[in-house]
Structure 1
Amino acid sequence: MKIAIIDYGAGNIQSIKFAVQRLGFEAVLSSNAEEIQNADKVIFPGVGEAGSAMRMLRSTGLDKLIPDLKQPVLGICLGMQLMCKSSEEGNTTGLGIFDAEVKKFNADLKVPQIGWNTITELRGKLFENVSAEEYVYLVHSFYVPECSDEIARTNYGVDYSTALNRDNFYGVQFHPEKSSKTGEQILKNFLNL
């Protein structure tokens, strides 16, 4: 199986590559359109700021490529947020894959949310063999409000969509590569789609 991790300069790609290796697969880090299109699975990571990340995607043409991909695609953290219509972070226009607008957590909450939190309301193949109330690892100041593409939910002062799915596109706000056995199972489920 060919697995491509989109490399556009937005952090955490090595830890994702190592997590895939621990599951017995090899992944390539790539910004090459042909290599990404020919992969069986695509992982779209991200740690950083939405506006500058979108500028990097536009400068390489990846902003046009990603929404047209036909294979399973998994957006992680900022990757998932960039797959939404827009983000309040930097007043950024996203890729428009998910029908959602990313919001900033309320000022009275400690942000970023850093650490372990539970996922509930699990739906779909991404969460096979994962129990509700399992803990996952999160680091973020912006969130996706509950929406029609939601397949998992978390509460941090507000209920929000912590995982999304539309057609062949999946997104998780948490970091599966840092979420112990639960994250490993979710990553394995994605690779088995």
Structure 2
Amino acid sequence: MKKVVILDYGSGNLRSAERAVARLGVEVEVTAEYEKALNADGLVVPGVGAFAACMGGLKSVRGERIIDRRLAGGQPVLGICVGMQILFERGVEHGVETAGCDEWPGTVERLNAPVVPHMGWNTVDAPEDTVLFQGLGGARFYFVHSYGVQKWEMPPSDVLEPPMVSWTTHGTPFVSAVENGYLTATQFHPEKSGDAGAEMLRNWLATL
């Protein structure tokens, strides 16, 4: 049986994520233990709250090192909500800039929308060859966030397999998911997205 660790770094809906993944027939553990997080078949990095606080919590458990080492070894990582945002180069909240994990170029900023936070159900415009959203065309997912990446900085043209980027519109378009080899992330909460979220998680688990 595959083993998935939900990284406990003081942020995120840990138990709801644990239950959502466990229902799909894999072994799940919520832990901050370095070796367990490093060696699991899959790692989920959740996140709720401020970018700076999440980065501080991640560093307190050496989470950024865990992510780097897993990706270098071809071991899948899934970021959720702020757990996706901290994978980008930087976050800016209330005029304060905080360095992220810098796995992808881009800045997390306040959404340019008439109503913030973006809270509720919305669709995702995913690439045709997506793995994450296979069989989920037109499905709606649950979002709750005030910040996001609204400008995707394309990687160099010599990158053999550029990331697959999905978009959602709330006021203006923002990045709602990224599939980049062993690193995957969603701005929405699959664990709160009913059957569509469960199917998306099942698609991710199939890559482990």
Q: For 1:155, give the aligned amino acid.
A: T
Matched residue, 1:52:
53
**Distance (Å, rounded) in 2 between the aligned partners of 1:150 and 1:162:** 11
Matched residue, 1:177:
191
Matched residue, 2:106:
100
For 1:3-51, what per-residue CA distance to the aligned partner results, in whole angstroms no more than 9, with x for missing partners? 1110001020100101012212221011111101110011110111111
- More helix as a share of residues: 1
Matched residue, 1:164:
178
Q: Which runs of 5+ in 2 are unaligned?
A: 155-162
Output the TM-score relative to the length of structure 1.
0.93
* C-alpha RMSD over aligned residues: 1.4
**Distance (Å, rounded) in 1 between the aligned partners of 2:64 and 2:42:** 18
**Distance (Å, rounded) in 1 between the aligned partners of 2:198 and 2:47:** 18
**Distance (Å, rounded) in 2 between the aligned partners of 1:36 and 1:151:** 26
**Distance (Å, rounded) in 1 between the aligned partners of 2:83 and 2:114:** 23
- 1:129 paired with 2:143, answer no
**Distance (Å, rounded) in 2 between the aligned partners of 1:20 and 1:181:** 12
| Contact 2:120-2:144 at 8 Å conserved across structures | yes
Identity %: 36
1:165 CA displacement: 2.1
Report the more deviating stretch, 167-176 or 89-98. 89-98
2:124 pairs, out of 119, 123, 142, with 119
Matched residue, 1:75:
79
**Residues matched between the structures, number:** 191
Matched residue, 2:17:
16
**Distance (Å, rounded) in 2 between the aligned partners of 1:41 and 1:162:** 21
Report the more deviating stretch, 10-19 or 51-60. 51-60
**Distance (Å, rounded) in 1 between the aligned partners of 2:81 and 2:132:** 16
Report the more deviating stretch, 13-22 or 142-151. 142-151
Q: For 2:97, give the aligned amino acid.
A: N
1:125 CA displacement: 1.0
Q: For 1:73, give the aligned amino acid.
A: V
